[in-house]
Chains A and B, each alone.
Chain A
Amino acid sequence: MKTEPTPGTAGWPPPVLDPAGPFAGPIQTVAWVLFVMAAVVMVVVMVALGVALFGPRKWKRRVGGERLIWIAGLAFPVVVLTGLLIYGLTTTARVAEAPKPGEMRVRVTGEMWWWRVAYLDDQGREILQDANEVHIPAGRPVVFELESADVIHSFWVPRLGGKTDMIPGRRNFMRLQADAPGTYGGQCAEYCGGPHALMGLVVVAHAPKDYAAWLSKQARPAAAVPSPQEPLALIAQGRNVFNASGCAACHTIRGTEANGLAGPDLTHVGSRQTLGAGILPNNQGTMAGWISDSQALKPGNRMPSYPVLTGQDLRAVSAYLESLK
């Protein structure tokens, strides 16, 4: 088996300049246009400054008058900026097209410091809940309904598009599309206190038919899939520990008695790519580490550390959660 780095925002190539969909692509073009504009203007300024400081007297005389201000300081910027503005406004209109009826909807709610994800049907009703990972079909636009449960957060998946704030009392919309299946990193971009730095997110785009399969699998209640190493008995013990230790007060695992709402839904936690909102790889080992001491891994997060579990209980509960594929 080949291990992969935790999916997240990859620094290189710069995700803003490496778009993966039609809502990020035009922005990349805008960015390059702007870089060229900036380079040209910078050259103009530096040449003028160079002439002013070191140029021969004849050249200096041409630069050293009010004419320079009228031409280079007023006319030139007005022309450049007007062009940019028109280009910018048309691009804005294109990228920020209003959602159309019939487009797939996902509601993402920012919470301190994770993401609640709900998939909606055509009527806007919630089909199922998940957390910290958004699955979308590739090749078609998806409408994100962005809300906040506490403070202001900002939803940003740079390879798919710009960011949009999640503001208490408001609902913002953003359309994103991934052209190809793959994993796209994102994170909270608005300072939201405490461990804001560690509030990551993963968007997974599937080929359309894989997406349908994923959705129907996800809609099913929790099913423990035993691993070769961890026997079913241990998984059953883990489920008891989960409920007995109070985990169920905050977490829901559909199909079991666990129905807490404060924390992320864990119905299929074992199939997620990351733990702790995009900060750790997800396997039984990291799960055990997270449960027993999440405060060391993501200081200030809302889940208390559980150092009280015995070794065997810890392993059982981590085996149970990892079995929830």
Chain B
Amino acid sequence: MSADPRFDAAVYDRFPTNDDRPEGELEQLEQAWCGPRKPWEWITAINNNYVGVYYVGAAMLFFVLAGVLALLMRTQLALPMTGFLAQETYNQIFTMHGTVMMFLFAVPAVEALGVLLLPQMLGARDLPFPRLSAYAFWAYLIGGLCFFASLFFGLAPNGGWFMYPPLTSTTYSPGINADFWLLGIGFIEISAIAGAIEIIVGVLKTRAPGMTLDKLPIFAWAMLIFACMIIIAFPSIILSTLLLELERALGWPFFDAAKGGDPMLWQHLFWFFGHPEVYIIFLPAAGAMSTIIPAVAQTRLVGHRLVVLAMLATGFISFGVWSHHMFTTGMPQISINYFSAASMAVSVPAGVQVFAWIATLAAGRMRFNTPGLFAVGGLVIFVMGGLTGVMVAMVPFDWQAHDSYFIVAHLHYVLIGGMVFPLFAAIYYWTPMSSSRPLSERWGKWIFWLMFIGHNVTFLPMHLTGLMGMPRRVYTYLPDRGWELPNMISTVGSFLFGLAVLLWAVDMLRNFRPFGKKDAGNVFNGPGLEWLPSGRYSLRSIPVIKSLYPGWDQPDLARDVEAGRYFLPGAPRGQRETIVTSPITAEPQYLQTLPRPSSWHVWGAVFTAGFFLILTIQAYAASVISGLLAIYCILKWCWRLDRPSGPAKVDVGAGVRLPTYVSGPSSHGWWAMVITLIVGGMVAIMACFSYIFLWSRRPDLWQSPPDLGSLPLTLILLAAAGVGGWAAQASLKLDRPRSAAIAAVLMLVASLAAGGAFAAEASAWWNSGLRPDASSQGATVYALLAWQGLFVGIGLLMGPFALLRWLFGLVSPRHPATFELIALFLAFTAAQGAATTLLVRLFPGVTA
């Protein structure tokens, strides 16, 4: 983590170099990074310049689709008791509007922005796991489109985007509509987490040399916090969707009050994800605002450090406010007071950011271009949303406003002001980076004003509609309630908004020309690295960063970068490569080989989406086949990893020689594995919480755990798994004759030990007579077992995988990364197994 004592910062003084670049170096770089030529190669492309644009495009497609749903709803609600949409259709549409906006638009859109912008801003050639982002993208696009299409067959979910059981249990939602939601969201969660891992490792490990954390662009800060929040928050929704699907498919009573379950468990799990989710969406957009506002005002962000601290504070506090969605559920007074206070506290960092933006505008001189208008308009709308947010944090007021149209108004002010307007600002601001033509300024201003007015005409009256007593999620309302006029005004406003989006789409079609030889360049005179001249390989050479605003502060930067006078001016081994740096001080550590395009991740994505979607329609055999194919594709993809070639060290410019292979804690793979395991651990922690929560509801239903005599065997096997994995990679590194063989066999044995521990524990519970569908205890115990079983199953793929690699001669003591990562995984699996086993065995222990 900390600075390497052997690193000498004096090497930075060697740059920019003065020597002429050798003949053919640029051609070799271009050759390594060449874009797609054949049609299929557009699909297998993994470079972020392509995938990032696809990703943003897909997110905007879902924005438009969900927006059309909104217009349908507004048409239905323009007049009381109209028959434009049938009740069931409306219920499906409002569910899909929320779900698509949150899961298929907002999170992917900001993630897409990160994939597209981060390598450019950080001076990296690409993100560290380009194939993973491509996989995440394709799983999201295919799955998302199929999920959306369920609407056309009347099979779309209809339980609201929050899916509260028991309305969504099989008793009250017997159709497969709810399963579409639960499984459809499944792969979107996977793709969000894949993106988050990518972003965390990218921001921490692939910055340009010298870009210490205090020189990290504010947008990258925002994306880093965003990605960390996904890692903490998404496990909760993963777990809740798993539990509800288990209850629906197999009758395990997590939420069924008759068998000791509790509908409130869902609300806690859902909102532990759902509220941070709002900030997950907001933070990257705020980061974009903090980037765009200094550019339009042509001055530095006032209070940069305060803004970073504010974003960190937002991230922390946002995990302590989830229950403010539940003030009306009869929670104890003490919890209500706490969550009320936390909900108010979370608005303070937002205030800090707002006034930092205003101070920046005052310090500079605002240019009223389209990105500037969208940024300032978003600021105004967001402040209004924040103020109504403070109102609903006041518990007594929330008791009236909750679930009324006041909330509909509040959340749209927050999300449209805090995310949609900044996103449009970002689109107008960064289009010249990707497209050979900027978007039209004249159109942009029209679009802004239409959208700003449309937004306020739609949502301002809704505050009143709510106070007038209109509940939300109603497919119609009775005449003579006095709600006709505000509803009609809202409908008119929504069509103005729709018109703005339509004009924007036309503007995109007219002007957006990505993937060209040249881009439009730094139209707005932004200070970031993303505005340096670049090709598909990003920057010609990776500069030494000496300022937070290198484009403004480092003269001649563009010229020197383009002339190849900084790090890595070519592709010395003819491969795609980027420099990996240390997480805090950004000292160059090694040269990472990036993958080339391939089709395995695409097929992997197709079959992953297929697995979940086919499972929904209950074609189990086909679904399993699709799942197996997905595993096969992913294993094929992994098979190509960790295969170093070429010299062990190469010159990356000015005589600086970097290793081309690193394992252990400074490697990007180690970081990704650790983050993945944190996700797994969070799911396990939330499952343990569920176990304790349900016990506290109905301790009388709890039966005694299996006899403790069987516990030592489980624990010994788990210890064997953890220690065996560690011993395997350690023996590999000893580099003695046959140490590779011993390592491979040890790894296999360790994975089998993990499997044995699982089997022992599962059979002990089964023999104790507890059944998963009998009580909440059975449901949660077996859910914890199932989660452990998933890890054991993956471990049982990894053990033989290690052995196979040895058989094929792919294991070498100098390249232990694969073995290290498998050992890490097995150690985690063993620890997780031990922790969950001890919990369910010892707490609450033997009952009378």
Contacts and interface: CB of A to CB of B under 8 A. Distances in A.
B337 interface: yes
A150 interface: yes
Nearest to B365: A60
A49 B380 contact: yes
B400 interface: yes
A30 B474 CA distance: 27
B376 interface: yes
A234 to B, nearest CB: 31
B434 to A, nearest CB: 29
B359 A69 contact: yes
B391 A196 contact: no
A190 to B, nearest CB: 6
Contact of B333 (A93, A146, A187): A93
A259 interface: no
Given A11-B481, A88-B396, A191 B362 contact: no
Contacts of A85: 340-341, 344
Nearest to B90: A197
A322 to B, nearest CB: 22
Interface in A177-194: 185, 187-194
Contact of B359 (A31, A41, A53, A66): A66
A112 B173 CA distance: 13
Secondary structure of the B contact surface, majority rule = helix
Interface stretch (B382-390, B518-526, B558-566, B790-798): B382-390
Given A151-B166, A168-B263, A299-B87, A42 B387 contact: yes
A167 B263 contact: yes
A17 B345 contact: no
B473 interface: yes
A173 B394 CA distance: 20
A300 B87 contact: yes
B471 interface: yes
Interface in B326-350: 328-330, 333, 336-337, 340-341, 344-345, 347-348
B214 to A, nearest CB: 16
Interface in A1-23: 5-6, 8-12, 14-17
A22 B320 CA distance: 32
Given A169-B262, A191-B167, A26 B366 contact: no
A120 interface: no
A78 B345 CA distance: 8
A91 interface: yes
A69 B352 contact: yes
Interface string A23-48: 01011001100100110011001101
Interface in A201-250: none
A313 interface: no
A74 B356 CA distance: 11
Nearest to B173: A193
Interface string A98-140: 0000000000000010000000000000000000000000000
B355 A72 contact: yes
A187 B366 CA distance: 49
Nearest to B363: A64
A70 B352 CA distance: 8
A38 B363 contact: no
A155 B355 CA distance: 40
A188 B471 contact: yes
A27 B399 contact: yes
Contacts of B262: 169-170
B747 to A, nearest CB: 47
Contacts of A26: 396
Interface in A41-86: 41-42, 45-46, 48-49, 51-53, 55, 60-61, 63-66, 68-69, 72-74, 76-78, 81, 84-85
Interface stretch (A158-166, A260-268, A285-293): A158-166
B535 interface: no
Given A163-B328, A193-B91, A73 B399 contact: no
Contact of B403 (A61, A96, A173, A190): A190
B734 interface: no
Contacts of B361: 49, 52-53, 64
A152 interface: yes
A52 B357 CA distance: 10
Interface in A256-303: 279, 299-300
B340 A65 contact: no
Interface string B461-488: 0001011111111111110111100000
B402 A189 contact: yes
Given A5-B480, A300-B87, A152 B394 contact: no
Given A77-B348, A191-B167, A84 B394 contact: yes
Given A51-B362, A73-B351, A37 B167 contact: no
| Residue with the highest number of chain A CB atoms closer than 10 Å, among B466, B482, B697 | B482
Given A9-B469, A12-B468, A88-B395, A151 B359 contact: no
B306 interface: yes
A89 B340 contact: yes
B158 interface: yes
Nearest to B391: A34
A64 B403 contact: no
A72 B302 CA distance: 14
B481 A9 contact: yes
Most chain A beta carbons < 10 A, residue from B348, B362, B398, B468 = B362
Contacts of B166: 150-152, 168
B358 interface: yes
**Residue picked from B347, B348, B404, B469, most chain A C-beta under 10 Å:** B469
B474 A197 contact: yes
A143 interface: no
A45 B382 CA distance: 11
A158 to B, nearest CB: 5
Contacts of A93: 333
A318 interface: no
B395 A52 contact: no
A312 interface: no
Nearest to A62: B362
Given A15-B469, A74-B348, A172 B329 contact: yes
A252 interface: no
A169 B340 contact: no
Contacts of A34: 390-391, 394, 397
B328 A154 contact: yes
Contacts of A12: 468, 482
A27 B396 contact: yes
A197 B329 contact: no
A38 to B, nearest CB: 4
B40 interface: no
Given A34-B397, A164-B328, A185-B469, A45 B383 contact: yes
Contacts of A194: 87-88, 91
Contacts of A200: 478
Interface of A: 5-6, 8-12, 14-17, 24, 26-27, 30-31, 34, 37-38, 41-42, 45-46, 48-49, 51-53, 55, 60-61, 63-66, 68-69, 72-74, 76-78, 81, 84-85, 88-89, 91-93, 95-96, 112, 146, 150-152, 154, 156, 158, 161-165, 167-170, 172-173, 185, 187-198, 200, 279, 299-300
22 contacts: A5-B480, A10-B482, A11-B481, A12-B468, A15-B468, A30-B396, A42-B383, A49-B379, A51-B362, A52-B366, A69-B356, A72-B358, A73-B352, A76-B351, A85-B344, A156-B471, A163-B400, A165-B328, A170-B257, A197-B87, A300-B87, A300-B88
Interface of B: 86-88, 91, 158-160, 164, 166-167, 171-173, 257-258, 261-264, 302-303, 306, 328-330, 333, 336-337, 340-341, 344-345, 347-348, 351-356, 358-364, 366, 376, 379-380, 383-384, 387-388, 390-391, 393-404, 464, 466-478, 480-483, 697
Given A45-B358, A95-B396, 4 more contacts: A95-B399, A112-B172, A167-B263, A169-B697
Top 7 closest pairs, chain A to chain B, by CB: A162-B399, A11-B482, A169-B257, A73-B355, A64-B362, A64-B363, A197-B474
